[in-house]
Structure 1
C-alpha cells in the first residue's frame, strides 16, 4: 500500500495517522515479548527435560542398587553358610544350593565376586564348578546350572595303595597280638618294647594305635578321668563386696629354706586389701580365719564371689564350708592359668617390689606381721592405684573417687580455659571413674566415658562450684 492509498484509507475509516503508528508500535512490542517468552519457555523446557533425564538415571541406579541389596539379603538368608576352606570336601547338595543362590543373585544384579564372597568361596571355584557341568551361564537358567554341577571327584576316586602300606595279613597279626592274653591289658607303648625284647618287630607304636583305631579297639580304659575343658571365669565387679580374690604367697624367713605364708584377700572392684595375715604354714583353716576377719571388718557383709586358684588350702573343707555358710560362691582359676587371678598376682608383685621390702628375709614371724601391717595401711590409704585412675583403694571402696575425679576435671578445664593452645586435641585428660573391673583383664578400659562431659556433669551434681 502506497502512502496515498494509506492516507485515503485512513480518511475513509476515520483513523488518525498517530493512532495507526501507536497501534503498530504496540503490535511490534507484543510480538517481541512473545518471541522472548517463547525462547525462555523453550530454554526452561530444555532444562526441565535435562533434570528429568538425570532424575530418571538416578532413580534407575537406585532401583538397581535396591534390587541388588534385596537379592544379596536373600542370598545371605538362604546361604548354607561359609563353604570355603582350602581342601574342604563340599557335598553335592551344598554345591548345588550355593550355585543356585549365586546364579539367582547374579541375575538379579548382584556382582558375581560379591555373591561368591558371601557364600564363602572364591570366584574361580564357582567358575570351575560351572564349567565342569558344561553349561553356558549366559543362556542357562539357575536351575539348569545347578543340575549340571558335578560331585567332588575326590569322593569317588580310587587311590592307589602306597607301596609301604601294611597288608591285610600284617594288620590281622597286629590285632591278634594286641588281643592275646599276654598283651590284651597293655597299651601299644608297652607292647612294642616287649616284642622288641623277643626279637619281633611288627610295626611302630603309632601304627599299632592307628590299626587298633581303624578296628574300633582303641577305647579309653582304666579309672583315669577324661580330660575336660574348663571355661574361663568371667566375673565383673561393679561395686564393692561383689567379688573378692584371694591367694597365698611365700615370704622369706631368717634362714634359707624357711618361709612364712602371706594370706591375702582383695576386693576386685576397689583393689582394697580387706583381709590379710601371715602364718608359719598355709592351710584352709588359716585362710578361713582371714575370710571371717575380712567379713567382720566390712560390717559383716560377705561378698557374692570368692575367687582363687586351685591350691589345696582354697579347696579345703574348712574354707568351702565357711563360704557355704556365708552364702559365698566359690570360683576357681583354670589349671595352670595364672591370668585367671591376675589381679592377685599383680598385688604380690607390688608387695615384693616395695622399696622397704626386706629382700634378705624377715627376722621373725612378728617382724613380718609388723611390716605387712604398715604396707597394707600405706596401700589402702596412700597408694594411688593406676587401675583406678589414680585414687586410693579406700577412696574407691567408699565411693569418694567420683568427687575427687570431678575436682580434677575442674582443675583441667580451668587450665585449658587459660591457655587452650596447649591442648592440641581439644580434650583434657580422662578423669572418669572406673565403673567396673573384670576378673580376667582385657585391653579395654571400662570407664564412664572417654570425654570429660560426664565428669563435668558429676561436678555440677555434686555442687562443686569451686575448689577448696
Structure 2
C-alpha cells in the first residue's frame, strides 16, 4: 500500500485504490500528536506556544483535544482520524466505490429511458401523421422493421410502447389461431325469444300488406296493439325489414350534396386572402364591437382591418374595397372565408365577381377550414396587452391600430421563418435572410466549437395551403410503361 506521509506523522497512511488520488483531509498520526504535545508543554516563554501552533498549522483546540485523549489513556484514540468521521476500512472504500458506480449507472439508465420515451412519442406521432396522409402500408413496414430490431434489446412491451404497436397484435401474429379440420365451425346460437320461420313470414306478409304498406313499423305495432294483437316488437319488425332491404328512405326529403373540401395554394403574396369577423367585448354586458380582418395567407400580413358596431353585407363589401385600396390597388386571385351571413351576402358576392376574384368558403360546421384567420384572432386575444373590455368604439379602433401596426412590422412570425409579415409581403425578407446567414457564418468562423454543425437561419416557406391534399406515392407499377429507358 502507498503511503502519503509528508513529514513525521502529519498525514496518515492511505490505501491505494481507484479513488486514492482524490483530495484528502489533513490527519495526524499518534507519534506526531505526542511530539507536538511534548514540545508544546516544554515551551514557557511568551509567544512561543503561539508560534508553534502557527508554524504547524494548528489551533489551540487541537492541543486541548489531544491532551484530553492522552489523559483518558485512550492511546488508540491518538491514531489519525478526521474529526467526527471513523477511519474507512478497505471494505468501506469498496462499498463506497460500488455505491457511486451504481448511482452512475442508475442515472444513465434514467436518461436512456427518458430519451427512448421522447423518441417513442415522436415516432408514434410521425407514424400517425403518415398514416393519415395515405402512407399506411409504408409506415407499417418501417414500424415492423424497427420492432424486429428493438424488441431483442428491450422487451416486447417497451418496443410496443415506443413504436405505438399493440401487444395483442404482435402476439397474434406470432401465434395465429389454428383451425382444425376435425371440428366444423360452430353454428350461431339461437336466442330463445327468436321468432321461428313461420312467424317471421307471417309478420313480413302483414307489414307488406295493402293495409300497412305505407305505414312505418312503429305505426303498425301501435295499430295492432290497439286491436289486441301483439306479434313482435318494433325493433324486431325493423330488423326483419332491414334483412330484406326494405328500409329505404321513402319520404320526399331534400338531401344536401356533399360539400367539397376547399383546397387553396399560395406560392407568393397577393394570391389567397382569408378574412373573418370576431367580436370584441364592449363596456357593458351584451355590447360588442365587430372586428373585420383580412389576411394574406402566404405572408401572414393583415392587409386591412376595420372595427364597426355591427355586422352586415354592406359593411363587408366596403371593407373588401378598402382592403384592395390599402394594398395599392392589387387584388388577390381568391378570397376565402367561412359561411357567415356577411361572407355569403349578395353585396360581397357581387363585388368579388366584379373584381374577378374567386370565392371560397368553409364547409358547414368545419371550423378548421379557415385556419389562418382563426389562428390570427387567437394571437390577438392572447396578447398580454389585450384588454378584457373596450370602453368605446373609438377605444377598440385605437387599440387595433396599435396592435396591427406592431403585428405587421415588428412581430417575428414563427410560420414565416421568424420574419415580419410586412417583410415577406413586400419581398425584403430574402435580403434579411441573407444578412442573417452572414451573421451566423461569422459566429461559426469565430467559435466553431460552439456549434454541432454550420448554423443556418430557418428557411422561408415556399407554399401556404388551406387543406393541403394528402400526398400520393407513385409505385413502379403506377408509372407509365412506355417511358424511354
Normalising by the smaller structure, the TM-score range is 0.5 to 0.7
State how 1:310-389 maps to structure 2 within 5 Å.
310-359=339-388, 361-389=389-417
Structure 1 residue 403, shift from structure 2 partner = 0.4
How well do the aligned residues superpose, as a CA RMSD in angstroms? 3.5
Structure 1 residue 290, shift from structure 2 partner = 1.2
State how 1:389-400 maps to structure 2 within 5 Å.
389-400=417-428
| Pair 1:197–1:313, CA change in 2 (3 A) | farther
Could you say which residue in structure 1 is the equivalent of 2:333? 304
| Pair 1:267–1:214, CA change in 2 (3 A) | same
Which among 204, 214, 236 is matched to residue 243 of structure 2?
214
Note if contact 1:244-1:267 (Cα within 8 Å) is conserved in structure 2. yes
Aligned equivalents of 1:314 and 1:193: distance in 2? 49
Could you say which residue in structure 1 is the equivalent of 2:462? 435
Which among 165, 168, 179 is matched to residue 194 of structure 2?
165
Could you say which residue in structure 2 is the equivalent of 1:245? 274
Richer in helix (by share): 1
1:413 equivalent in alignment to 2:432: no
Structure 1 residue 214, shift from structure 2 partner = 3.0
The SS at the match of 1:248 is strand
State how 1:172-187 maps to structure 2 within 5 Å.
172=201, 174-175=203-204, 178=207, 187=216
1:232 equivalent in alignment to 2:258: no
Note if contact 2:436-2:457 (Cα within 8 Å) is conserved in structure 1. no
Unaligned runs of 5+ in 1: 1-81, 83-121, 133-152, 445-468
| Pair 1:431–1:215, CA change in 2 (3 A) | closer
- How many residue pairs get matched? 297
Aligned equivalents of 1:408 and 1:189: distance in 2? 74
| Pair 1:244–1:182, CA change in 2 (3 A) | farther
1:273 equivalent in alignment to 2:302: yes
Unaligned runs of 5+ in 2: 1-136, 138-172, 472-485
Structure 1 residue 322, shift from structure 2 partner = 1.8
| Pair 1:277–1:326, CA change in 2 (3 A) | same
Aligned equivalents of 2:313 and 2:384: distance in 1? 31
Structure 1 residue 219, shift from structure 2 partner = 1.7
Note if contact 1:341-1:440 (Cα within 8 Å) is conserved in structure 2. no
Aligned equivalents of 1:189 and 1:302: distance in 2? 59
TM-score where L is the length of structure 2? 0.54
TM-score where L is the length of structure 1? 0.56
The SS at the match of 1:247 is strand
Deviation by residue 1:126-168 (Cα, 9 ceiling, x = unmatched): x99xx99xxxxxxxxxxxxxxxxxxxx99xx997866543334
